[in-house]
């Protein structure tokens, strides 16, 4: 929702998804509208703001801010990759803004990257108006882009991917069907036995997010939740869930994660081996 005040200032306000407590509304002052438009799937807005820099909004919900997106994308990618000893084949579901892709292409062991996003306009708009997010990653020669429904796409693969990153919008509109147990089972089948899947699983306390994490825990023999506060998602800490058919996350030590991270020779803004383990500490009451 966009509202103009008597002072002449314009603000964008976002509500939580109806029926999904806790109930909360937050806003950001709009400095300038950069883009508005729509595809056959969703509506787009991009604004420049004072507190969050540039923000991308789909169907009224904030997807990222250029000031905070590194926290989200690093936590969605690096824990999963560093649990795995040698990732080569990667599938990104959603992720049309290019932030996950930017982190994935930093891994030199990766030989093949598939990115499946039903709405190719997200890629088009993000490349033009949010270039700092992808940082040229769409030009990587290992990448193949599929403008398809991921629900059907993953059914074509069995025991194929080392890493699957599930970077979906909230469970409304075109992504709603991808928050179901049947889709999670298809993702597991598409993974190799020693593969790792990473999911953005929304807020720590949100009801649908808690249900989602329970579904994932039932689907994958090995399961962990990581969390981080992402400034443009201010309702609560955001969660990133990882699952594997075979890799026991509890047996991957800090020493191992440090060694793998050092070997990469990359610099991350937020993620570190220490954050990797600190982010797994979840409060004792039920989530």
Q: Where residue 20 falls among pLDDT bands split at 50, 70, 90?
A: low
Mean pLDDT value of segment 249-276? 97
- What pLDDT score does 22 carry? 53
Judged against a pLDDT cut of 60, whether residue 18 lies above it is answered with no
Determine the Cα–Cα distance for residues 236 and 26; give it in Å rounded to an integer.
Answer: 12
Mean pLDDT value of segment 120-126? 97
| Dihedral over Cα of 94, 146, 118, 126: its sign | positive
DSSP bridge partners of 15: 25
Judged against a pLDDT cut of 60, whether residue 166 lies above it is answered with yes
Question: What residues does CATH 3.40.50.150 cover in the chain?
Answer: 69-278
The single-letter DSSP state of residue 28 is: E
Of the options 2.30.140.10, 2.10.70.10, 3.40.50.300, 3.30.565.10, the CATH number for the domain spanning 2-65: 2.30.140.10
Question: What residues does CATH 2.30.140.10 cover in the chain?
Answer: 2-65
What is the pTM (predicted TM-score) of this model?
0.94
Q: Where residue 27 falls among pLDDT bands split at 50, 70, 90?
A: confident
Contact 165, 175 (CB under 8 A): no
- What pLDDT score does 4 carry? 57
- What pLDDT score does 175 carry? 82
Q: Where residue 45 falls among pLDDT bands split at 50, 70, 90?
A: very high
Contact 90, 104 (CB under 8 A): yes
Mean pLDDT value of segment 185-203? 97
Q: What is the mean pLDDT of the chain?
A: 93
How many angstroms from the chain centroid is the CA of residue 117? 13
| Dihedral over Cα of 232, 226, 103, 165: its sign | negative
Q: Where residue 221 falls among pLDDT bands split at 50, 70, 90?
A: very high
Judged against a pLDDT cut of 70, whether residue 248 lies above it is answered with yes
Judged against a pLDDT cut of 90, whether residue 205 lies above it is answered with no
Residues with catalytic annotation?
A: 167
Judged against a pLDDT cut of 80, whether residue 2 lies above it is answered with no
CATH architecture of 69-278: 3-Layer(aba) Sandwich (3.40)
- What pLDDT score does 3 carry? 60
Mean pLDDT value of segment 162-191? 92
Contact 147, 117 (CB under 8 A): yes
- What pLDDT score does 285 carry? 59
Neighbours of 158 (CB within 10 A): 12
Q: Where residue 171 falls among pLDDT bands split at 50, 70, 90?
A: confident
Instruction: Flag the least confident range among 32-41, 62-71, 73-82, 276-285.
Output: 276-285
Q: Where residue 75 falls among pLDDT bands split at 50, 70, 90?
A: very high
Determine the Cα–Cα distance for residues 155 and 169; give it in Å rounded to an integer.
Answer: 20
Contact 52, 67 (CB under 8 A): yes
- What pLDDT score does 253 carry? 97
Mean pLDDT value of segment 36-57? 95
Structure tokens at 57: 């909004």
């Amino acid at each position: 929702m966009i509202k103009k005040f008597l002072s002449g200032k314009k603000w964008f306000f976002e509500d939580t998804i109806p029926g999904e407590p806790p109930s909360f509304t937050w806003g950001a002052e709009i400095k300038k509208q950069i883009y508005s438009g729509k595809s056959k799937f969703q509506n787009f807005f991009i604004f420049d703001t004072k507190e969050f820099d540039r923000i991308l909004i789909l169907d009224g919900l904030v997807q990222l801010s250029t000031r905070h997106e590194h926290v989200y994308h690093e936590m969605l990618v690096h824990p999963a990759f560093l649990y795995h000893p040698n990732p080569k084949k990667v599938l990104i579901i959603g992720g049309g803004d290019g932030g996950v892709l930017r982190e994935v292409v930093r891994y030199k062991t990766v030989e093949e990257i598939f990115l499946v996003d039903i709405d190719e306009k997200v890629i088009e708009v993000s490349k033009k108006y949010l270039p700092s997010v992808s940082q040229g990653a769409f030009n990587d020669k290992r990448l193949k882009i599929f403008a398809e429904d991921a629900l059907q796409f993953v059914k074509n693969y069995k025991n194929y991917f080392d890493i699957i990153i599930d970077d979906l919008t909230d469970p409304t509109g075109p992504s709603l069907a991808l928050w179901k147990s049947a889709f999670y089972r298809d993702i597991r089948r598409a993974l190799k036995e020693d593969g790792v899947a990473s999911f953005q699983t929304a807020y720590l306390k949100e009801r649908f997010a808690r249900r989602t994490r329970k579904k994932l825990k039932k689907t994958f023999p090995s399961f962990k939740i990581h969390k981080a506060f992402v400034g443009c998602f201010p309702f609560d800490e955001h969660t990133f869930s990882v699952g594997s058919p075979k890799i026991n996350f509890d047996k991957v030590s800090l020493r191992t994660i440090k060694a793998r991270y050092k070997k990469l020779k990359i610099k991350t803004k937020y993620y570190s081996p220490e954050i990797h383990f600190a982010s797994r500490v979840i409060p004792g009451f039920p989530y």
